[in-house]
Amino acid sequence: MKLDKILLSSMIMAGSLFAGVHGTHWGYTGHDDPSHWGDLDPKYAECKLGGSQSPINISKEIIVETKGLEPIKFHYTTGASEVINNGHSVQVNVKPGSYMTIDGEKFELKQFHFHTPSENQIDGKNFPLEAHFVHAAKNGDLTVVAVMFEDGKENAVINKIWKKMPHQAGTKTLCGLSSKMINQLLPKEKTYYRFDGSLTTPPCSEGVRWFVLKDYSKVSKAEVEEFMHTMHHPNNRPIQPVNARKVLQ
């Protein structure tokens, strides 16, 4: 299991997990859409059998107030190396050295990517864009920090990424995004909702710690439309059953 987790985190860093290089083809439309993921490959079985799948609707009914929920400590000090269009999202790979700490553990930032509309919901609301900052510990444990983008003025950092964004699936370009710009994608307020979940793409592996930031960043409608045009369709997995889970705040 530990080896599998380390392999999974290395695939995430390389972008191959999302590109489907190491597994059966999957997608967001037609016979390969999310409702069929669990039947496409035995390795994807958790997509339909798992009890702690992501994304979820963060509603008042499942939120538990927790005193002394520790802050996430972000140490994003390195820039981006490349931007990949893997056919499922646009992914920005980050140079080694950036990390976050939580629960007394250090999780290295591997990459961040985007979904439109948002995958997670807050009180039943979808947002135009959601970014997932994917981190891995040395033992393979994964954390995802999700940032919601609401309609607003043009986002200068998103604009810079989009200018480098390959429009053909399976291609990548070099990216000169600085650590300062990566930090600017995060909202100023870093309080969060926390829950246990999974990857939102096959193999839908569970045991992922999710942190959805409460504050939002801004993005323009034109930028969202450009991303949608590149993807050709929405790239969000539908909301999954919460089951017995609670969301901490």
Q: Which of 45-54, 63-72, 217-226 has the lowest mean pLDDT?
A: 63-72
How far is C-alpha 148 from the chain's CA centre? Answer: 11
The per-type count for the chain, helices as H runs and strands as E runs, is 7, 15
pLDDT of residue 135: 98
Q: Choose the catalytic residue: 31, 36, 75, 88.
A: 88
**How confident is the model at residue 8, as a pLDDT?**
57
Residues 78-96: what's their mean pLDDT?
Answer: 97
> Is 88 assigned a catalytic role?
yes
Domains of the chain: 2-248 (3.10.200.10)
Task: Give the pLDDT of residue 12.
Answer: 56
DSSP 44: G
Beta strands in 9-161 (DSSP E): 57-58, 63-64, 73-75, 80-85, 90-94, 99-102, 105-115, 121-122, 129-136, 142-151
Per residue in 139-152, pLDDT tens?
Answer: 999 999 999 999 99
101-114 pLDDT, tens per residue?
Answer: 999 999 999 999 99
Coil, helix or strand for 200? coil
Q: Whole-angstrom Cα distance, residue 63 to residue 215?
A: 16
Per-residue pLDDT at 51: 97
Start-end of H helices in the chain: 2-14, 16-19, 37-40, 46-49, 156-164, 179-184, 221-231
Mean pLDDT, the chain, integer? 92
> How far apart are the C-alpha atoms of 48 and 140, rounded to whole Å?
23
- pLDDT tens profile 203-214: 999 999 999 999
Global pTM reads 0.93
What pLDDT is attached to residue 176? 86
Where residue 3 falls among pLDDT bands split at 50, 70, 90? Answer: very low
pLDDT of residue 180: 98
Alpha carbon separation from 65 to 62, 120, 195, 247 (Å, rounded) = 10, 20, 13, 9
Name the residue among 5, 37, 34 with its Cα closest to residue 23. 37
pLDDT digits (tens, 9 = 90+) for 63-86: 999 988 999 999 999 999 999 999
pLDDT given for residue 67 in this prediction? 87
What are the tokens at 178?
Answer: 């600085």
Residue 94 CA to residue 77 CA, distance in Å, equals 10
Q: Which band of pLDDT confidence, cut at 50, 70 and 90, is reported for residue 18?
A: very low
Q: What is the pLDDT of residues 180-199, one digit of tens each?
A: 999 999 999 999 999 999 99
Token pair in block for residue 152: 């607003």
Question: Tokens in use for 240?
Answer: 């999954």
Instruction: Look at residue 173 in the predicted model and tell me its pLDDT.
Output: 96
Q: d(Cα 22, Cα 41) in Å, to the nearest integer?
A: 12
> Alpha-carbon distance 104 to 211, whole Å?
15
